[in-house]
């Protein structure tokens, strides 16, 4: 789908179809037909009137989300026709929502289908009276953001046999080449030499070597330094604490945090952000086998802390522990350190499958992150640490346990585990994003089709855009 911003008198602009988003059919030219067809001004209600070349879609609130859902619904209808071009009048509509809704809503992943849908050469013209610099910027930025989301979705949707740590590292190299980023890839020898035993042990039973990926975007006169760390479990079988069959399917999605970091890194140069940004991913496969790490093992993380393994399925926090230490050891003068992970089922239970859980030590930074997330079109909510939950991950024989001694508050106890690997000077600069809920969509919602959603990408780019 090609999408254009066109300066023209709307009536004069030639297109085969016209898309009309409406929250009130009383004000439409086709009120009578729409009424007789039972059309309602509701999200996802859509009608194609082919004879007169119009698609009507309902919208409930006319906010970002309603507009994005409406345009995505209209585009799907448009895609199902043989018409080549459609136009929409921007008027009061939100341009960001139109662009992102179009690109995100028309995404499909059919790499593994024998009969691939033919990509018809269709185009959408967004018509404005006058193209101002502001409109043009919004248009271009929204396009880059949505493309980064779709890139992330493609990675996450790829089957684990075709996407293991080495492949993830190769994709990182490709992104680095395209965007002129620095790219360092470290293998298991490096992990061993540098005391990254927590990460190393998680990948021990896999035939695929674990990789630490480090991308750097360093523009001249950078205002701030941001580090993004992603959980890149290319597969999470649970390890010896093996997942039940029903819970194992979809665990290719456990690389979503790492893929989000790569997706974000693919956009930062294009968006010309005046910030130094590091993207670090722990790419590992959690498998079973004779050499697997075990419950009862004690691992020594990069910062010297000892970890009692009580459940090999709580592996993400082990990988992140070492990656967070690596980031803080290697990068000086960090302003923000954010991590992204499909870390806990508990977060999905707690806040639902649409929302990311935002954790950290600074209430004001959490507020800022949540507010940018909502602004970007993603759902996120702040979850509060407390001293009592902090005590639940104490271990009798090591410094800390990878499993809490309570059944409750699992998203928070995982976040608190990570806090043990955040150095004193970075405590208030750190945010943990648990994206286990929204990262992978099993029942399509809004403009998200089945499969990966690209959670984390839009909210982070929005945050980065607004760094002062
Ligand atoms: N990757 C899973 C978490 C997950 C669950 C991601 C659902 C996406 C959807 C993680 O590694 C895991 O298995 N966590 C355990 C932790 C437990 C053993 C403390 C969980 O949530 O059950
Ligand atoms: Zn797990
Ligand atoms: Zn996992």
192-225 tens-digit pLDDT:
999 999 999 999 999 999 999 999 999 999 999 9
Cα-based distances in Å from 450 to 249, 308, 327, 390? 14, 37, 34, 36
Residue 345 CB less than 6 A away from ligand 1 = yes
- Give me the catalytic one of 184, 243, 270, 390: 243
Residue 313 CB less than 6 A away from ligand 1 = yes
CA 96 to chain centre: 18
Among the listed residues 310, 379, 323, 369, the one whose alpha carbon sits nearest the alpha carbon of residue 348: 379
Q: Could you tell me what percent of the chain has a pLDDT over 90?
A: 97
Separation CA 216–CA 222 (nearest Å): 12
294 carries an active-site annotation? no
Please give the pLDDT value at position 120.
73
Residue 404 CB less than 6 A away from ligand 1 = no
pLDDT in tens, 289-308: 999 999 999 999 999 999 99
Among the listed residues 181, 275, 180, 270, the one whose alpha carbon sits nearest the alpha carbon of residue 222: 275
Please give the pLDDT value at position 62.
84
| Nearest protein CA to atom 22 of ligand 1, as residue | 345
Separation CA 403–CA 307 (nearest Å): 10
Separation CA 46–CA 78 (nearest Å): 11
Contact 414, 342 (CB under 8 A): no
- The model's pTM: 0.98
Residue 323 CB less than 6 A away from ligand 1 = no
243 carries an active-site annotation? yes
Among the listed residues 14, 123, 139, the one whose alpha carbon sits nearest the alpha carbon of residue 78: 123
- Measured in degrees and rounded to the nearest 5, phi and psi for residue 441 equal -105, 115
Q: Whose atoms come closest to the Cα of 343: which ligand? A: 1
Tokens of 355: 């929302």
Rounded to 5°, angle at Cα 449 from 445 and 453: 85
Rounded to 5°, angle at Cα 277 from 360 and 411: 25
What's the gap in Å between 343 CA and the centre of ligand 2?
8
Per-residue pLDDT of the chain (468 residues; tens, 9 = 90+): 899 999 999 999 999 999 999 999 998 999 999 999 999 998 889 999 999 999 999 998 889 999 999 999 999 999 999 999 999 999 999 999 999 999 999 999 999 999 987 777 899 999 999 999 999 999 999 999 999 999 999 999 999 999 999 999 999 999 999 999 999 999 999 999 999 999 999 999 999 999 999 999 999 999 999 999 999 999 999 999 999 999 999 999 999 999 999 999 999 999 999 999 999 999 999 999 999 999 999 999 999 999 999 999 999 999 999 999 999 999 999 999 999 999 999 999 999 999 999 999 999 999 999 999 999 999 999 999 999 999 999 999 999 999 999 999 999 999 999 999 999 999 999 999 999 999 999 999 999 999 999 999 999 999 999 999
């Amino acid at each position: 789908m090609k999408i254009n911003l066109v300066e023209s008198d709307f009536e004069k602009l030639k297109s085969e179809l016209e898309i009309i988003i409406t929250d009130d059919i009383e004000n439409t030219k086709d009120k009578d037909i729409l009424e007789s067809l039972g059309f309602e001004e509701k999200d996802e209600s859509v009608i194609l009137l082919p004879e007169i070349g119009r698609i009507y879609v309902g919208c409930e609130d006319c906010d970002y989300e309603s507009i994005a859902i409406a345009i995505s619904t209209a585009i799907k209808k448009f895609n199902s026709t043989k018409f080549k071009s459609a136009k929409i009048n921007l008027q009061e509509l939100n341009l960001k929502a139109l662009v992102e809704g179009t690109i995100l809503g028309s995404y499909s992943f059919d790499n593994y289908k024998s009969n691939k849908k033919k990509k018809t050469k269709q185009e959408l013209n967004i018509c404005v009276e006058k193209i101002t610099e502001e409109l043009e910027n919004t248009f271009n930025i929204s396009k880059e953001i949505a493309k980064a989301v779709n890139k992330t979705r493609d990675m996450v949707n790829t089957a684990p046999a075709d996407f293991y740590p080495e492949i993830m590292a190769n994709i990182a190299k490709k992104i680095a080449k395209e965007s002129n980023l620095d790219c360092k890839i470290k293998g298991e020898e490096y992990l061993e030499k540098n005391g990254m035993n927590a990460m190393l042990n998680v990948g021990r039973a896999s035939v695929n070597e674990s990789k630490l990926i480090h991308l750097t975007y360093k523009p001249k006169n950078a205002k701030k330094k941001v580090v993004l760390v992603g959980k890149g479990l290319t597969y999470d079988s649970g390890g010896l604490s093996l997942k039940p069959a029903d819970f194992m399917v979809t665990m290719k999605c456990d690389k979503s945090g790492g893929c989000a970091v790569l997706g974000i890194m693919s956009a930062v140069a294009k968006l010309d952000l005046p910030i130094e940004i590091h993207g670090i991913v722990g790419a590992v496969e959690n498998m079973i086998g004779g050499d697997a790490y075990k419950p009862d093992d004690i691992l020594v993380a990069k910062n010297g802390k000892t970890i009692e393994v009580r459940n090999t399925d709580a592996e993400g926090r082990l990988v992140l522990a070492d990656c967070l230490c690596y980031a803080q050891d290697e990068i000086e003068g960090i302003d923000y350190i954010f991590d992204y992970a499909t870390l806990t089922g508990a977060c999905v239970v707690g806040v639902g499958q649409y929302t990311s859980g935002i954790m950290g030590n600074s209430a004001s930074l959490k507020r800022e992150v949540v507010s940018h997330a909502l602004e970007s079109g993603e759902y996120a909510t702040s979850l509060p640490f407390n001293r009592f939950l902090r005590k639940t991950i104490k271990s009798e024989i090591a410094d800390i346990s990878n499993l809490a001694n309570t059944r409750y508050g699992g998203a928070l106890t995982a976040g608190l585990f990570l806090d043990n690997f955040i150095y004193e000077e970075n405590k208030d600069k750190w945010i943990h994003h648990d994206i286990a809920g929204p990262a992978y969509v099993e029942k399509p919602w809004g403009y998200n089709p089945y499969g990966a959603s690209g959670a984390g990408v839009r909210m982070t780019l929005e945050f980065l855009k607004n760094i002062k």
